[in-house]
Structure 1
Amino acid sequence: MVKNSALPGPCTLCGNGRGRRVAGSWFCAACGWRYGDVPDPDLPLPRVDVVYYLRFDRRVKIGTSMRPRQRLASIRHEELLAFERGGRTIEQQRHRQFADAREGGEWFTLTRELRAHVKALRAEGDPWQLHARWLSEALQS
């Protein structure tokens, strides 16, 4: 069994402080990035599209972005509920799936069904740690 311990410093990709030692190297427990590696600043980060679920009162916005930090900063919301990996196709599927709860545009009433979907996504982990893991995987491929 591999035990998570404190990294020598925060992960350069996601900022997490926990990691595991494998074959003499430290790896971030949250995103899997090898400790000490730094993404090449001269190259753009790979594209990682996400479908986001933002709550404002009893409404949820289901949208998509390839730069979620910038996008979420521009939308008034109370809570980031979840991320789901995918772009417009997944977003449109979710809009159809929850069409009965649509209030207008990309906003939906937080129904029991939508709450269950978000809960299943949250079971996979913290949205920002998931995004960092997806980014790490894309950088390693």
Structure 2
Amino acid sequence: MTTCVLCGMGESVADAAGTGVRACAVCGWIVGDVPDADLPRPRVDVVYYLRWEGRIKIGTSAQPRRRLAAIRHEELLAFEQGDRVVEHARHVQFAHLREGGEWFRADAELVKHAAALAGATPPWHSHARWVADALRRNVS
């Protein structure tokens, strides 16, 4: 098993095109490629869904590891690519469940929405893929 230099996770897998190139199974970064340390990391904004008991917080961050470490929660339900515009749209969408600030009642409708966003992919894996994709776009 090879640990990815970009996301720190994953196991390399053969490229689907059959070229013999190996990539991280989580983020898709090419094994052996090293991100240019002189270039800033791309900004990848996410809307996060955190559960604490019977409530869900819908917030946004460009640095989700740091942000989530500062918020008491039991479970990260999902990430959604987006910034404050998407966050605001979700606050409006689920306004009828608002309990205060960015916290909403963990009603079946909101839980289902978060589950649909996550699908079968763990949230941190989705984030790793988005960061890798953004890096590839910046290099191209």
TM-score between the two structures when normalised by the length of structure 2 = 0.91
Alignment counterpart, residue 13 of structure 1, candidates 6, 13, 23: 6
The percent of aligned pairs where both chains have the same amino acid is 58
Asked whether 1:90 is paired with 2:86, we answer yes
One-letter identity of the residue aligned with 2:56: V
Report the CA distance between 1:124 and its aligned residue. Answer: 5.1
1:50-92 alpha-carbon deviations (Å, 9 max, x no partner) = 0000111110110000000010011111111110000011100
Asked whether 1:67 is paired with 2:60, we answer no
User: In 2, distance between residues paired with 1:98 and 1:53?
Assistant: 12
Alignment counterpart, residue 33 of structure 2, candidates 23, 32, 37: 37
Alignment counterpart, residue 46 of structure 1, candidates 42, 46, 64: 42
- Bigger drift between 107-116 and 39-48 goes to 39-48
User: In 1, distance between residues paired with 2:68 and 2:128?
Assistant: 16
1:4-25 alpha-carbon deviations (Å, 9 max, x no partner) = xx4xx20111222323222121
Provide the aligned length of Structure 1 versus Structure 2: 134
Alignment counterpart, residue 58 of structure 1, candidates 40, 54, 61: 54
User: In 2, distance between residues paired with 1:41 and 1:73?
Assistant: 25
User: In 2, distance between residues paired with 1:10 and 1:33?
Assistant: 11
- Unaligned stretches of 5+ residues in structure 1: 1-5
- Bigger drift between 47-56 and 20-29 goes to 20-29
User: In 2, distance between residues paired with 1:83 and 1:27?
Assistant: 23
